[in-house]
Structure 1
């Protein structure tokens, strides 16, 4: 197993050739916002138009913003291996209904970069959740509806559990995904373990080198595997694949999955937050959970229903894979509005 220092060196070397330009990095005052002005950033934004950047916490966060500045805020969070384009149809639909919609790149994706080269590239759940609060603070947002899938769903639930006063309502694909490290050490049935093959791949040095070399091809395979009925075209995939050229992408992805398996440590400053999440706290906020074909036998939501003690609704979308907002944007946008009204 490579050391943390060796791991950082491997990732830095492998990703250097695919580094993405940072919009306003090192030139934007903390808490201030700049519109995207670098060509690569504008191209990456696609249908969102020019991206914005804001220094928030340890990051310079790239995000799309749509809708009226004084509208109720919705923050949409993507997962791996996806990016803000999972919400390219959801965000305009919500903006048209009067919401101020923010769609940030998570750490390690797109134009979101670390403000310091010495900051450890940490992807434990509490760190990513803290990024959302830092973004809200930088933009002076008191409360927001949060919606997400995959890493985004886990992050939204973690924010709600740790800072409930900052969250108005939740839309969570696949339900309650807050990671309990002790539970993660228990093996699943063989057929279920097969679906998590990439976690074990990332646990090896070979996996780090392979993902660094073949990031785009690797992630396209994941898309095809977890959304077998979604026949996306190459242009759709390439819009998102640009975000994987972020210089920290490999480090963040690998650390996330190693941390979940207790093969990598988090950072001490997040320990108090993590201790709360390790108790699998219940969420009392209005919540709407969404299941799809990806969830298999767990689609009815019964496995996590007890974790939500406030106003609640659950919906099952058939014929839809893991990337719910991009595969079923109308249903996801409706879920956000309905959750806001629970």
Structure 2
């Protein structure tokens, strides 16, 4: 049964499982996905003694804004702040924080700016400090990010509202070209995108990333510190699929100077954008074989 954590801005829906007295593990999904992306890792996490919390990001599934007046922002500062507030609302400490895609970006924010409750971070399929509007992009990466500019057009916005499932299905296939996902698996994730805020948050996330939309002033200080960029202060493991067709592996390369604690990056051969879904056993093994991994 879905439970809820109340913050100043959101009622955050989340799934929880594992031993009630287990060490906390918070696993945060990406876009376009949902908390079921972690299903293949749950047996290993439970066997290792973790109490696993899987929140829905803003705009996904049952998570709801508490005010109609609150800006439907998808900026990274907002996602990171939401995650920090989630940990605080549930009073979780010494957390093993695991994030994929948007969840990884939120995890970096917490590891850099709100590290007090985090023991260790595992980030997948996204590099840190890649959200500058003036960032230099290779042409292959520019090609990979076509969809982020597509949402700046009327046609793209219409696709977000009216054709989100076929749009996202194309992204899943192109981002992980060697992975044959099951239609039931995709449909389960897609149900979480029926949230009325999903298209607005999606569009704003990418418009803000490239300097085409203003952010929510609530997060101005967070965004300013991320632009420095503030270093990640917790031990971090980065996992990146070699065949990731979205955030190409180059986006997480050569980042060690931005981490002040133990840092390791592993590129996964023959894996695309969705390691938790494509190769959950390998991901679990790497998390636990990493120093302090359980």
List aligned pairs for 1:79-90, cutoff 5 A. 79-90=30-41
Q: Greater shift after overlay, 317-326 or 136-145?
A: 136-145
TM-score, L = length of structure 1:
0.80
Residue in structure 2 matching 1:271, options 197, 202, 220: 220
2:83 is matched with which residue? 132
2:220 pairs with 1:220: no
Aligned counterpart for 2:230 among listed residues 281, 284, 289 = 281
Deviation of the 1:266 alpha carbon = 1.0
Deviation at 1:238, TM superposition (A): 0.5
CA distance in 2, matches of 1:223, 1:64: 23
Matched length: 291
Residues 86-97 of structure 1 aligned to structure 2 (within 5 Å): 86-97=37-48
Structure 1 distance, partners of 2:84, 2:191, is 26
The one of 66, 72, 86 equivalent to 1:121 is 72
Distance 1:242 1:276 in 2: 35
- In the aligned structure 2, how far is the partner of 1:160 from the partner of 1:304? 14
Q: Secondary structure at the match of 2:123?
A: strand
Deviates more, 1:76-85 or 1:137-146: 137-146
Aligned equivalents of 1:337, 1:288: Cα separation in 2: 11
User: Contact (CA 8 Å) 2:241, 2:273: kept in 1 or not?
Assistant: yes
Conserved? CA contact 2:24–2:93, under 8 Å: no
| Aligned CA-pair RMSD | 1.9
Report how far residue 159 of structure 1 moved: 0.6
Q: Is the 8 A contact 2:58 2:64 kept in 1?
A: yes
Residue 309 of structure 1: how far off its partner (Å): 2.8
Q: Distance in 2 between matches of 1:237 and 1:318?
A: 23
Distance 2:238 2:30 in 1: 16
Q: Specify the alignment match of 1:143 in structure 2.
A: 94
Q: Does 1:154 align with 2:154?
A: no
Q: Which residue of 2 aligns with 1:33?
A: none
Residue deviations 1:159-181 (CA, integer Å, cap 9, x gap): 11001212110111145333442
Specify whether residues 246 and 315 from structure 1 end up closer, same or farther in structure 2 by C-alpha distance, changes over 3 A only: same
> Secondary structure in 2 aligned to 1:171?
strand
Change (3 A) 1:202 1:334: same
Could you tell me the TM-score, scaled by structure 2's length? 0.93
Greater Rg, structure 1 or structure 2?
A: 1
Measure, in 2, the Cα distance between the counterparts of 1:115 and 1:283: 30
Instruction: Name stretches of at least 5 consecutive residues in structure 1 with no aligned partner.
Output: 1-49
Q: 1:60 aligns to what SS in structure 2?
A: strand
Distance 1:56 1:161 in 2: 21
> Does structure 2 conserve the Cα–Cα contact (< 8 Å) formed by 1:171 and 1:339?
no
Q: Post-superposition shift, 1:195?
A: 0.9
User: Does the 8 A contact of 1:292 with 1:299 survive in 2?
Assistant: no
Cα displacement (A) at 1:310: 1.5
